[in-house]
Structure 1
Amino acid sequence: MNAQDLKNSILQLAIQGKLVEQREEEGTAKELLKQINAEKEQLIKRGKPIPGITENDIPFDIPESWEWVRLGEVILLTSGQDMTPNNYKDTKVGVPYLTGASNIVDGRLVINRWTNEPKSIALKGDLLLTCKGTVGTTTILQEEEVHIARQIMSLRTFIMDIEYIHIFIKSYVNTLKAKAKSMIPGIERKNVLEAVIPIPPLEEQKRIVAKIEALMPYVEKYGEAHSKLEVFNKKFPEDMQKSILQYAIQGKLVEQREEEGTAEALYQHIQEEKVKLIKENKIKKEKPLPVITEDEIPFEIPESWKWVRLQQIGELSRGKSKHRPRNDVKIFENGTFPMIQTGDVARADEIITQYTTMYNELGVAQSRVWQKGTVCLTIAANIGDVAILGFDACFPDSVVGFNAYHPIDTNMYFLYVLMCYKDILDKMSRSTAQKNINIEILSKVAFPLPPLAEQKRIVEKIKEMMPYCKQVNK
């Protein structure tokens, strides 16, 4: 339950006679109504008769000392009247002129027009209700008098406590809104006057008002706490996932096992594989990368792990955007491949299963096809979005592909590492018209490398735990 729902519940309890106890010495609402009618007779002439109340009009039970009446029986309702611009000004001379909901902010008046020719006058203590445009805004007038435009109604009570009427209107305003018939929402006089209101004895009205005033500060505090809880609940699954991944890449998610060897041994094995691939002209020999310094290391890792740069342990390459014929075909055809866009990577949940466009034979000939299982990383616009290809595909120059060398046979561990590096990569972006990083920047980032068997155990543990994050989110 949010704060507004709690307020509504309190208001509902108030008008049902359940918020404060009834006291015999305070008399009855029937006696109060006799006094109200006597005062009305002296002050106004009766207009159209207000219909009586039937059993069907009564929405809930009230205490025996209360009475059901039409609102028009206990208030004087004044409708507003618009003025032409020559009848008002923005200098503080005359009577304030209120035109609508813009004059009522957080229950307080904002006055920016004045007139010397007031006609539709509301007096201090009247309840103002916006009835056209933004309907249902209310406040109790503290100015001695104001002129109201036709977007506002004024409710004046006879003997009744105006704050109690205010409580009722706030609880009833959605019903009034629902009865609005025109294209521009509006509350009709008839619907206000004929609203069925439960009337308690006067002293009980005052006690109800006092009780609500005492409760509202607690409701406000509840609202603040509820808002913080809502934010926490929304962030918690994401924070939980980030924590799991961060533990994983720091070597804290699974234990280290001596029999699984070291990352240094794995690294040397990869270098031997690279030499072999270079001799076979399957990859090009890259420039030596600088040694990783202490300043580049963002956190501690186990002794059996090693800090490496991605280009030292796998192929890191960028897509191509030139000569990119597209069509909307969503099926694989001979010589036609999916074309992964940056948005496809952002929408993926680890594995890319959907794509935006296709690449035809001409396009493929001018680019290349990345294998299923390749890590895709966006390096422009939304920097650091990462996913793994669920099929063979092409991608543009705003996406980088990574494939680890043998004996590493899956890129899943590197997917999770790169998920943790999104903020780091974003901070490394260059300040151009569109934020971006390049292969040179990416190739110099230090990444934690565990032994191969431990990589696989980390991936299995993450897959085991991630469904719990999604369950919490639901």
Structure 2
Amino acid sequence: MSKDISKPEQLITEHIDIWTSAILAKSTSGRGSSKKYELYGITKLRELILELAVYGKLIPQDPTDEPAAVLLERIAVEKSQLVKDKKIKKQKALPSLEEAGVEQNTLPQGWTWAFMPQVIAHDDYAIKRGPFGSALKKAYFVNSGYKVYEQQHAINDDFSRGEYYIDETKFNELKAFEVKPYDLIISCSGTVGKVAIAPPNMERGVINQALLKIALNNNALINEYFKILFPAFFMRTDTLSDLKGTAQKNMVSVDTLRKEPFPYPPLAEQRRIVAKVDELMLLCDQLEQQTEASIDAHATLVEVLLSTLTDSADADELAQNWARIAEHFDSLFTTEQSIDALKQTVLQLAVMGKLVSQSSDDEPASVLLEKIAEEKEQLIQEKKIKPRKALPPIEDEERLFDLPLGWEWCRLDDICDGITSGSTPPRSSFIDDTGIPYLKVYNIRNQKIDFEYQPQFIEEGYHSSSLKRSQLCPGDVIMNIVGPPLGKIAIIPDTYPEWNCNQAIVMFRPFISNLNKFIYTYLVSGMFLDKIALIGTAGQDNISVTKSRSILLPTPPLAEQHRIVAKVDELMAICDQLKEKLKQSQETQVQLTDALVDRALG
């Protein structure tokens, strides 16, 4: 951190380890998740480059440049003459720099503070917010004519998108909102601050209410510089910085832009700044691509090496494959993604019978299943449970893998007393903070019950009389059957003696209670999802109760189940420790990045 960072290239190249190492994990779930990480360091570097640019710290000043104040004076004289000639209207008086709360001596040599009205085109409509819904109702849209430019055009910097048009009569009525080639359009609600330059070959049209257009006097402020200025300066002002991601009512206003002074460089320096920013952003692009390629290559390597474990034919091959991974453990498991992959591999090895050794002294799983079947039949005869419709026999193609000696395949219905989904009681049965805890899918977090998150209770009387089917006990295994994402699993804790749940959750209660932890382990592995037919409705995946009953379980001897669960708990604890160390390392990298940014700006 002691090296000179006065040159932007040095800022990148001499601290590349800091920019590329500051990587944060994203919270992702369900479908549509893309990258599971954020390149925090490179993002901060991009922001820093822009901020240095708009405060005159990115490139040296040239004393031969015409000072910005002189240029503004000449433009003011031109406008004054146009007003006298009645070609444009007289503009409102601008606030003084003192009224605006800025000081001239805070800027580099040749720079000055300016206001947008000083640098826009000589046009009454040079800054204009799009018309609101009353002017652009859907009823006015036609198949072809004059295009209606929307927020997506600014966000994506693509003027070919969109499908809304108005006819010539409506266009003439909204002529003040016309956007022309080389105008700037700004996204000014919701996703605030995206700027695009209208291309020369654009379709003629108007902006809608989510956009603000600016026509600059490019002899005073060039478009490409404004694209740097707006996010790096205007969006960081007290007036606009709180608008990012806010609702429609919080919008960038024309009045705000007119009254906000900004640091204004000489015209020649603007061009040099734009060229330097383009050059450095290209370097950032390359840095980003290299970092992403490295992350992807690392993830692929981890995936390939871990797959050798689950694909191992026998214990000897597994030991050899693990030795290869263990030799490079510290360099392989350095990201949250890789640690999660390790966790998943541990689960798969566990339920495939490859995590702990088998013992010939263990009572085979076939004997265990026979005892459960006998107990089940006895309970039916005693009318303590009702007989259920038999499920089809297990077919060869249903089996996910070959089982070790002493293991057996069974369906969860074979070993569970009840497999039912919950139900939704009437609102009148809910009470504030006492009674029976009532679970929804959001209470299953990180494969555990989190009842502190939005807890709900129902009346004990209604639970006992009307919700018998969905009553839960400590030790029951539950799973969400409506997604995405599917595969949220938990064991009901003993913090309450009884529980209940809604219809998006299914319950498994094994005849032998201590089977629950291995059932939980298998369901958490998610391997069963590869063989289950999902029902999709309204963008959701669903598992029916019948399909839940049919889930195949690779069943080890009971003693081996206990050894497997203990080993999984041990290894998961190690993985969690790795994650905690990783989190601390990431926090350190972020602090280093922020310190470097603060030093550069200071």
TM norm structure 1? 0.69
C-alpha spacing 1:432/1:169, structure 2 compared with 1 (3 Å): closer
Find the counterpart in structure 2 of residue 106 from structure 1: 156
Query: Could you say which structure has the larger radius of gyration?
Result: 1
The structural deviation recorded for 1:452 is: 2.6
C-alpha spacing 1:156/1:432, structure 2 compared with 1 (3 Å): closer
Q: How does 1:413-452 map to 2 (within 5 A)?
A: 413-421=518-526, 424=529, 427-429=532-534, 435-439=542-546, 441-442=547-548, 444-452=550-558
The structural deviation recorded for 1:197 is: 1.6
Structure 2 residue 80 is matched with structure 1 residue 44 = yes
- Taking the aligned partners of 2:157 and 2:141, their CA distance within structure 1 comes to 24
SS in 2 for 1:271: helix
The structural deviation recorded for 1:220 is: 5.2
SS in 2 for 1:17: coil
Verify the 8 A CA contact 2:186 2:213 in the aligned structure 1: yes
Residue 474 of structure 2 aligns to which amino acid in structure 1? K
Verify the 8 A CA contact 2:476 2:507 in the aligned structure 1: no
C-alpha spacing 1:375/1:192, structure 2 compared with 1 (3 Å): same
Find the counterpart in structure 2 of residue 196 from structure 1: 262
Verify the 8 A CA contact 1:375 1:415 in the aligned structure 2: yes
Q: How does 1:51-62 map to 2 (within 5 A)?
A: 51-53=95-97, 57-58=102-103, 61-62=106-107
The count of aligned residue pairs is 452
- Taking the aligned partners of 2:104 and 2:353, their CA distance within structure 1 comes to 64
- Taking the aligned partners of 1:268 and 1:436, their CA distance within structure 2 comes to 30
- Taking the aligned partners of 1:214 and 1:141, their CA distance within structure 2 comes to 23
Structure 2 residue 405 is matched with structure 1 residue 303 = yes
- Taking the aligned partners of 1:393 and 1:367, their CA distance within structure 2 comes to 11
Structure 2 residue 502 is matched with structure 1 residue 457 = no
C-alpha spacing 1:381/1:168, structure 2 compared with 1 (3 Å): closer
Find the counterpart in structure 1 of residue 215 from structure 2: 154
- Taking the aligned partners of 1:416 and 1:167, their CA distance within structure 2 comes to 52
Q: How does 1:249-328 map to 2 (within 5 A)?
A: 249-253=351-355, 255-258=356-359, 261-262=361-362, 264=364, 266-269=365-368, 271-272=370-371, 274-275=373-374, 278=377, 292-312=394-414, 314-319=415-420, 327-328=429-430
- Taking the aligned partners of 2:47 and 2:424, their CA distance within structure 1 comes to 61
- Taking the aligned partners of 2:397 and 2:155, their CA distance within structure 1 comes to 54
CA RMSD in angstroms comes to 5.4
Verify the 8 A CA contact 1:308 1:449 in the aligned structure 2: yes
Structure 2 residue 70 is matched with structure 1 residue 34 = yes
- Taking the aligned partners of 1:301 and 1:309, their CA distance within structure 2 comes to 15
Aligned with 2:491 (options 388, 405, 423) = 388
TM norm structure 2? 0.57
Residue 461 of structure 2 aligns to which amino acid in structure 1? N
Residue 195 of structure 1 aligns to which amino acid in structure 2? P
The structural deviation recorded for 1:291 is: 6.7
Query: Cα deviation per residue 1:302-358 (whole Å; 9 max; x = unaligned)?
Result: 33433334455x33424487998983357888xxxx476664874584458677535
Residue 389 of structure 1 aligns to which amino acid in structure 2? I
C-alpha spacing 1:300/1:402, structure 2 compared with 1 (3 Å): same
Query: Cα deviation per residue 1:3-24 (whole Å; 9 max; x = unaligned)?
Result: 7654432221112223223445
C-alpha spacing 1:380/1:104, structure 2 compared with 1 (3 Å): closer
Query: Cα deviation per residue 1:136-192 (whole Å; 9 max; x = unaligned)?
Result: 554445549989789534221435544334432342332353699x96635345753
Tell me whether 129-138 or 396-405 shows the greater mean CA deviation: 129-138
- Taking the aligned partners of 1:213 and 1:429, their CA distance within structure 2 comes to 49
C-alpha spacing 1:90/1:177, structure 2 compared with 1 (3 Å): farther
SS in 1 for 2:77: helix
- Taking the aligned partners of 2:260 and 2:423, their CA distance within structure 1 comes to 71
Verify the 8 A CA contact 1:130 1:153 in the aligned structure 2: no
SS in 2 for 1:57: coil
- Taking the aligned partners of 1:369 and 1:465, their CA distance within structure 2 comes to 33
Structure 2 residue 309 is matched with structure 1 residue 248 = no
Find the counterpart in structure 2 of residue 401 from structure 1: 508
The structural deviation recorded for 1:278 is: 4.8
Verify the 8 A CA contact 1:374 1:411 in the aligned structure 2: yes
The structural deviation recorded for 1:207 is: 1.7
The structural deviation recorded for 1:294 is: 3.8
Verify the 8 A CA contact 2:184 2:213 in the aligned structure 1: no
Query: Cα deviation per residue 1:195-230 (whole Å; 9 max; x = unaligned)?
Result: 132314x43322211122233345456677889979
Aligned with 2:113 (options 60, 69, 75) = 69
C-alpha spacing 1:316/1:437, structure 2 compared with 1 (3 Å): farther
Counting aligned pairs with the same residue, the percent is: 20
C-alpha spacing 1:302/1:75, structure 2 compared with 1 (3 Å): same
Verify the 8 A CA contact 2:187 2:195 in the aligned structure 1: yes
Verify the 8 A CA contact 2:398 2:531 in the aligned structure 1: no
SS in 2 for 1:44: helix
SS in 2 for 1:248: helix
